[in-house]
Structure 1
């Protein structure tokens, strides 16, 4: 109680802190279990709140997954946004390695972002916008590696970046699925990056 005898007002957690806590809980469920198990009830149980608290912040399970996808894309963007002061080839190589490292460290988040019919596929959604921003980083990496003039054999820089993404995503997807045909996926991935660098140049 205060000096006047009145009860001190209860401190409320800021709205953004509540949302962040719920997202943290959702991410814990996602990382520990399969995507199908990320439900409003599971997240509410993880966060020790009533399910309505999740609905109040995200509106629906779809809204929750969209927010999770945005967060995962931001983490991926941060992973591949390598120091621009580095040598372009070193930077390109480190970004490709960081992409694989992120996918292997967070397979469920990777599946959420790039699985068929996921939030990123919804044109105009916040996740789609973040996905495009991450792709712009890849375009910049490709342009830095070979220069725009050297990319004239492609329709545009985006097409060249799409080919790079197709290659590294395909390699990562095969590795995550355990269906690769080589015994050393790490070395194989390094050789793929070498091949991409030579091909682009």
Structure 2
């Protein structure tokens, strides 16, 4: 039987630090590549605490994974907002490349974000208190794409008549490409597929 790593007791007022350590422990286990290993017991062991100690900070594993997913989406949003090209069409292309790069660089967190590791809809059903946070999960990152497609349309660089729908189509396309490149690495991917995908789905002129 394994026991938690020895850990000094938190001083009064250090509960926020322990909460952070719990989230970090879940992320470390997730990055290890085996989603089945991310359990409350394993998180507690990684954080160097007893499993019951988690309940003072999180009611269940879903609540921990929600924070991990929120932070991953926040990191994605920050990267998508990075390109500052004054030409919105070029910026949209750079945003799309940043999206695919993030998915490639953070494969396990990306899978968590989009349900391959953790089913957010089931989490909502199991823990109704999470519903509001789950409803807006990832919307900040999507809004960067939406806003840029809308700017392209406003400047005549896209024929989009419905930027929200076309931004959604682009998001779906990027997600599909990110997932398929991992699932079928031996497929003879066309060299200019990414550029064609972005241009067609965003209706760039």
Q: Which residue of 2 aligns with 1:141?
A: 148
| Structure 1: gaps of 5 or more residues | 1-9
CA RMSD of aligned residues (A): 2.8
Specify whether residues 148 and 12 from structure 1 end up closer, same or farther in structure 2 by C-alpha distance, changes over 3 A only: farther
Q: Which residue of 2 aligns with 1:200?
A: 204
Q: Which residue of 1 aligns with 2:114?
A: 114
Contact 1:69 1:120 in 2 (8 A): no
Structure showing the higher helix proportion among its residues: 1
Give the number of the structure whose alpha-carbon radius of gyration is greater: 1
Q: Secondary structure at the match of 1:59?
A: coil
Q: Which residue of 2 aligns with 1:4?
A: none
Residue pairs, 1:23-102, within 5 angstroms = 23-84=23-84, 86-102=86-102
| Structure 2: gaps of 5 or more residues | 1-9, 125-129
Report how far residue 13 of structure 1 moved: 5.8
Higher relative contact order (CA 8 A, sep 6+): 2
TM-score relative to the length of structure 1:
0.80
Contact 1:120 1:128 in 2 (8 A): no
Q: Which residue of 2 aligns with 1:173?
A: 179
Give the whole-Å Cα distance in 1 for the aligned partners of 2:185 and 2:110. 17
Contact 2:153 2:159 in 1 (8 A): no
Equivalent of 1:161, from 164, 167, 183?
167
Give the whole-Å Cα distance in 2 for the aligned partners of 1:35 and 1:11. 32
